[in-house]
């Protein structure tokens, strides 16, 4: 039964990455990052349950904090991007060079 | 007793924090007195320790024990406590002096905070019980030196001089660290007392390396020959700083380190001779520089380098007592000279070029007396303290042959020549700039130093200082004329300074100054016989080596990097999605690779 949960977690992770790669909107990319991070913490949690080791849970909690910080910075960048060009399509920002 | 030692180290740190964080709220003089009080407390505590002969090791706490044990260890023995006493004493006097000297400066509390921090670091360095704690103090004084040289940071020259001092000191510190590592490699411990017991069992080859590396550290901090360049520039800082840090205490840290490790250096006398040679050559060379210099503070700086050379000569030839004795007397009279230079600068609105001074004898009577005491001490004239110490070093150097002896004797001639040249320029002749009245509050602290400069000769009464190092020096039977030679040369220096100083023209005449002005015609000889030949050789080399071989290699390298750059540019598209695709593609490739490898 554990294998099924692992499979779900990996599926979620790949889903997040696909969103990041395929969508053009900046918000979608942020959502993709969140999704893959959540999948990761889910996997950590799962592993800590199945191995009986609390470290995974601690790590999952840490990841929540990091994800929250990441999204805060991401939203700030988003606001600046929209202010600069009036769109959130990242293909429009090729000239920033990064 | 352990509490006393702890308090004596910590109290300057405490007052430094008060001055630094709360200084802007307090009145200027109050900060100054609080800071001086902190230093005075540590002086009193150390004095109690010294009088009660409380000599012990104090282990504050264990810092780490991976991969080897390092304790924050302090050591109280006669050497460290006596050195600490000198540091605290001179620091206290300079603190009191700078209460009034820095009166009109805006960064008043910053200055006292740095100065106290310096005293704290210096006491850590001096009272350290192992090499790591010493290194902490070593870096601490380096930092404070940097901060105080660049104290007037809005002056570009000052901030550049600070950076220069810091960078040059880094070179020495690298040597010091290598020395620490080689000691650790040899003895597996860094505590002085343990090293002392283990040294006899150690391979002397490693000891030679350790000795050389540690001496490189000492060169950096004590401004000896290759690394002396930072000290003359360090005079950009405020004058009390020059008196305290760059004359009396910090620059002697290198000598102190050699003295602290005297048990190591006495096992490798050949390195010791090398040290003495470097020291005496530095003494001679920087004395020459001082004769040529016109800037009063830079003259004193070169003179400090020169006197440090004497100390190294004494310590290198394993007359540690004599070296330490000269360190003590030098601390007093050189600080005194700097403080009087500060008074002169104050009363002349910051004028520092001795050619533009003159005739200060009538207006600055106290300063004249103080400067004369300092100058006579520097030239080692009998009743003054430094006569006994310097004479001691020069006499004992006869044990190691005539070379170092004659260099040192010649240097003592130059020493009295440059300092009395400065004296005649500053105090005799016509008045060129009208001086203000001298500040009495600056004169009184200087008198204390003058008092110490006179009596410091008695510190070695009945070999008191010599006995710190456990052995009494071998006394050669010196011919009478040789024993008088240093004194004769010193007096000859004073007389020739008087002879060459032409009162009407107010500048020197005579062949010595012509020689020095032209750098001993060294450049001319070099350019005729040496440089022209070199130019011809390098012309041929340019044709064959430079243009036909090296240039092609260099251009080829440039072309290759241009080509790789073109490939790299095609990857740099600026599209976030492209980067992400690339990233994940490579990560999945890696994962597949490892999966097939291990499954």
Contact A21 B573 (CB under 8 A): no
Contact B577 A95 (CB under 8 A): no
Q: Between B336 and B460, where is the model more confident?
A: B336
Q: Could you read off the pLDDT of B546-574 as tens digits, one per residue?
A: 777 888 888 889 999 999 988 888 877 77
Q: B573 to chain A, minimum CA–CA distance in Å? A: 7
What is the pLDDT confidence band of residue B236, given thresholds at 50, 70 and 90?
A: confident
pLDDT at B514: 63
Contact B584 A21 (CB under 8 A): yes
Q: Could you read off the pLDDT of A46-65 as tens digits, one per residue?
A: 998 888 888 888 889 899 99
pTM: 0.73
Q: Tokens 């030839």 sit at which residue? A: B317
Half-sphere exposure of B126 (CA within 13 A, CB side): 27
Residue A98 has pLDDT above 60, yes or no: no
Q: Between B537 and B88, where is the model more confident?
A: B88
Contact A93 B574 (CB under 8 A): yes
**What mean pLDDT do residues B235-257 have?**
90
Q: A91 to chain B, minimum CA–CA distance in Å? A: 6
What is the pLDDT confidence band of residue B527, given thresholds at 50, 70 and 90?
A: low
> Which pair of structure tokens corresponds to residue B101?
């000297």
pLDDT at B547: 78
Cα B238 to chain centroid distance, Å, stands at 16
Nearest CA in chain A to B575: A94
pLDDT at B140: 93
Q: Could you read off the pLDDT of B333-357 as tens digits, one per residue?
A: 999 999 999 998 888 888 888 888 8
pLDDT at B518: 56
Contact A95 B572 (CB under 8 A): no
The answer to whether B94 and B72 have CB atoms below 8 angstroms apart is: no
Which of A21-25, B80-84, B339-343, B413-417 has the lowest average pLDDT?
Answer: A21-25
Residue ranges of the domains in chain A? 2-86
**What mean pLDDT do residues B84-102 have?**
92
pLDDT at B138: 93
**What mean pLDDT do residues B174-191 have?**
89
The answer to whether B80 and B127 have CB atoms below 8 angstroms apart is: yes
Residue B208 has pLDDT above 80, yes or no: yes
Cα B362 to chain centroid distance, Å, stands at 35
Phi, then psi, of B77 in degrees rounded to 5: -140, -175
- List of chain A residues whose C-beta atoms are within 8 Å of the C-beta of residue B571: none
pLDDT at B123: 93
CA distances from B518 to B283, B298, B506, B526 (A): 20, 19, 20, 13
Which of B114-123, B171-180, B431-440 has the lowest average pLDDT?
Answer: B431-440
A85 touches chain B (CB under 8 A): no
**What mean pLDDT do residues B76-87 have?**
91
**What mean pLDDT do residues A71-77 have?**
92
A28 touches chain B (CB under 8 A): no
Share of chain B above pLDDT 90, in %: 28
Q: Could you read off the pLDDT of B289-328 as tens digits, one per residue?
A: 888 888 889 899 999 999 999 999 988 888 888 889 999 9
Size of interface A-B (CB pairs under 8 A): 24
Nearest to B580 among A21, A97, A98 (CB): A21
Nearest CA in chain B to A26: B576
What is the pLDDT confidence band of residue B471, given thresholds at 50, 70 and 90?
A: low
> Which pair of structure tokens corresponds to residue B76?
């109280």
Q: Residue B373 and residue B336: Cα distance in Å, rounded?
A: 9
Angle at which helices B440-455 and B320-347 cross, to 10°: 160
Q: Residue B405 and residue B486: Cα distance in Å, rounded?
A: 9
pLDDT at A75: 92
pLDDT at B575: 77
Q: Could you read off the pLDDT of B64-78 as tens digits, one per residue?
A: 777 778 889 898 888
pLDDT at B24: 81
Nearest CA in chain A to B578: A21
Q: Ranked by mean pLDDT, which of A81-85, B81-85, B518-522 comes out on top?
A: B81-85
Nearest to A94 among B573, B580, B584 (CB): B573
**What mean pLDDT do residues A66-94 have?**
87
Query: What CATH code is assigned to A2-86?
Result: 1.10.287.3510
What is the pLDDT confidence band of residue B523, given thresholds at 50, 70 and 90?
A: low
Nearest CA in chain B to A28: B577
Phi, then psi, of B519 in degrees rounded to 5: 55, 45
pLDDT at B512: 62
Query: For the purposes of burial, counting CB atoms within 10 Å of the CB of B533, is it exposed (0-12), middle (13-18) or buried (19 or more)?
Result: exposed
Contact A20 B573 (CB under 8 A): no
pLDDT at B215: 92
Mention every residue, 6+ apart, whose C-beta is less than 8 A from residue B283: B305, B306, B307, B308, B309, B310, B313, B407, B408, B411
The answer to whether B51 and B292 have CB atoms below 8 angstroms apart is: no
What is the pLDDT confidence band of residue B212, given thresholds at 50, 70 and 90?
A: very high
Query: What is the value of ipTM here, to two decimals?
Result: 0.74
A83 touches chain B (CB under 8 A): no
Interface test with B, best of A17, A32, A78, A81 (most B CBs within 10 A): A17
Which of B342, B451, B445 has the alpha carbon at shortest distance from B93?
Answer: B445
Q: B593 to chain A, minimum CA–CA distance in Å? A: 19
Q: Residue A58 and residue A54: Cα distance in Å, rounded?
A: 7
Instruction: Give the three-state DSSP class for B191.
Output: strand
A89 touches chain B (CB under 8 A): no
Nearest to A94 among B575, B581, B584 (CB): B575
Mention every residue, 6+ apart, whose C-beta is less than 8 A from residue B9: B42, B74, B120, B123, B124, B127
């Amino acid at each position: 039964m554990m294998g099924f949960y692992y499979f779900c977690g990996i599926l979620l992770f790949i889903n997040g990455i696909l969103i990041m790669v395929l969508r053009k909107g900046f918000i979608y990319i942020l959502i993709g990052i969140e999704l893959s991070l959540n999948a990761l913490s889910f996997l950590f949690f799962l592993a800590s349950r199945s191995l009986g080791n609390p470290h995974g849970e601690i790590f999952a909690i840490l990841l929540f904090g990091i994800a929250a910080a990441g999204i805060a910075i991401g939203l700030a960048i988003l606001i600046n991007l929209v202010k600069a060009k009036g769109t959130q399509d990242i293909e429009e920002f090729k000239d920033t060079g990064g | 007793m352990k509490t006393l030692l702890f308090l004596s180290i910590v109290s300057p740190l405490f007052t430094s924090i008060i001055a630094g964080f709360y200084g802007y709220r307090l009145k200027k003089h109050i900060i100054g007195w609080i800071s001086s009080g902190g230093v005075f407390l540590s002086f009193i505590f150390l004095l109690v320790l010294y009088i009660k002969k409380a000599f012990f090791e104090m282990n504050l706490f264990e810092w780490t024990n991976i991969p080897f044990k390092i304790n924050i260890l302090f050591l109280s023995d006669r050497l460290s406590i006596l050195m600490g006493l000198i540091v605290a004493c001179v620091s206290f006097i300079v603190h009191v002096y700078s209460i009034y000297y820095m009166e009109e400066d805006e960064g008043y509390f910053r200055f006292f905070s740095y100065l106290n921090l310096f005293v704290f670091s210096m006491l850590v360095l001096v009272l350290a019980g192992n090499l790591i704690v010493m290194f902490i103090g070593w870096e601490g004084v380096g930092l404070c030196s940097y901060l105080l040289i660049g104290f007037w940071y809005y002056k570009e020259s000052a901030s550049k001089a600070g950076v220069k001092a810091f960078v040059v000191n880094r070179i020495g510190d690298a040597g010091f660290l290598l020395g620490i590592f080689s000691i650790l490699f040899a003895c597996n411990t860094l505590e002085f007392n343990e090293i002392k017991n283990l040294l006899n069992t150690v391979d002397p080859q490693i000891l030679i390396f350790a000795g050389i590396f540690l001496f490189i550290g000492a060169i950096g901090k004590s401004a000896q020959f290759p690394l002396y360049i930072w000290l003359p520039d360090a005079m950009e800082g405020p004058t009390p700083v020059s008196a305290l840090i760059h004359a009396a205490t910090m620059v002697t840290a290198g000598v102190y380190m050699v003295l602290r490790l005297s048990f190591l250096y006495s096992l490798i006398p050949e390195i010791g001779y090398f040290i003495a040679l470097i020291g005496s050559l530095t003494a001679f060379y920087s004395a020459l520089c001082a004769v040529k210099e016109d800037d009063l503070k830079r003259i004193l700086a070169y003179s400090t380098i020169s006197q440090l050379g004497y100390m190294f000569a004494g310590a290198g030839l394993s007359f540690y007592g004599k070296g330490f004795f000269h360190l003590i007397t030098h601390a007093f009279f050189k600080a005194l000279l700097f403080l009087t230079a500060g008074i002169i600068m104050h009363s002349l609105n910051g004028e520092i070029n001795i050619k533009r001074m003159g005739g200060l004898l009538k207006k600055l009577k106290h300063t004249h007396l103080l400067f004369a005491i300092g100058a006579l001490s520097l030239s080692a004239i009998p009743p003054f303290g430094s006569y006994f110490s310097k004479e001691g070093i020069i006499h004992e150097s006869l044990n190691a042959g005539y070379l170092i002896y004659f260099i040192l004797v010649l240097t003592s001639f130059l020493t009295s020549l440059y300092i009395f040249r400065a004296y005649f320029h500053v105090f005799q002749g016509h008045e060129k700039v009208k001086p203000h009245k001298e500040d009495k509050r600056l004169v009184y602290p200087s008198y204390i130093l003058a008092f110490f400069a006179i009596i410091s000769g008695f510190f070695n009464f009945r070999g008191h200082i010599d006995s710190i190092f456990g052995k009494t020096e071998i006394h050669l039977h010196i011919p009478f004329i040789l024993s008088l030679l240093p004194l004769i040369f010193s007096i000859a220096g004073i007389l020739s300074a008087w002879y060459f100083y032409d009162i009407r023209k107010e500048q020197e005449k005579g062949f010595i100054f012509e020689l020095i002005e032209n750098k001993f015609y060294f450049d001319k000889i070099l350019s005729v016989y040496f440089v022209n030949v070199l130019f011809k050789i390098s012309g041929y080399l340019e044709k064959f080596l430079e243009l036909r071989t090296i240039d092609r290699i260099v251009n080829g390298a440039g072309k290759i990097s241009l080509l790789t750059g073109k490939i790299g540019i095609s990857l740099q598209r600026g599209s976030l999605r492209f980067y992400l695709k690339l990233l994940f593609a490579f990560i999945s490739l890696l994962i597949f690779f490892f999966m097939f490898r291990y499954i």
